[in-house]
Amino acid sequence: MAKRILLVTGDAGESYEALFALHRFQEAGYEPVVAAPSARRLHLVMHDFEPGWDTYIERQGYGLDANIAFDEVDVDGYVAVLLLGGRAPEFLRHIRRVVDIVREFVAQGKPVFSICHGIQILVAADVVDGKTVTCYEHVRSEAERAGACYSQQQAVRDGNLVSAQTWESHPEFYREVFACLEG
């Protein structure tokens, strides 16, 4: 049986981050399980940068089926959790069960991975104080106010916590993710 990794997202999650994670973990022999507020087809988005815009733009992305609802998650059945970016974390961080899931992974010493806006869930779970992290530059202040030390690197590993700035950080991020998973 393949080792399972929990992927946390919801509507408005970043589609490239979600699909890349799903395929990359499958390629490496893991079983990724997508968890969301409910088990259904999710509406993902694409964030990109365009000349003349001061921030990213958002377009409709691919859909993705959530395998399970957050209420069905048993942390004992997973080796790690990945908090995906996009806009989903801005509302997922307010779901008590999501925060509790993250805290359980941390308490059990299991790897916790975060990309882009996924840091917002880590901040809500109060697990970044004293940690070196990275994230999308415009949520940096949230991480710093929660006691994290922000790094400008594309990806950072601090113990069992691996974080990345954006989908553009995938090469550096997944090198760190797999180094963490391999021990």
Active site members? 117
- The number of CA neighbours under 13 Å toward the Cβ of 162 is 23
- For residue 26, count other CB atoms closer than 10 A to its CB: 13
Q: How far is CA 166 from the centre of its chain?
A: 10
**Nearest C-alpha neighbor of 118 from the set 160, 156, 152, 164:** 164
Rg of the chain taking only CA atoms, in angstroms: 15
CA distance 57 to 122: 24
Torsion angle, alpha carbons of 126, 127, 131, 136, to 10: -80
Cβ atoms 163, 133 nearer than 8 A: yes
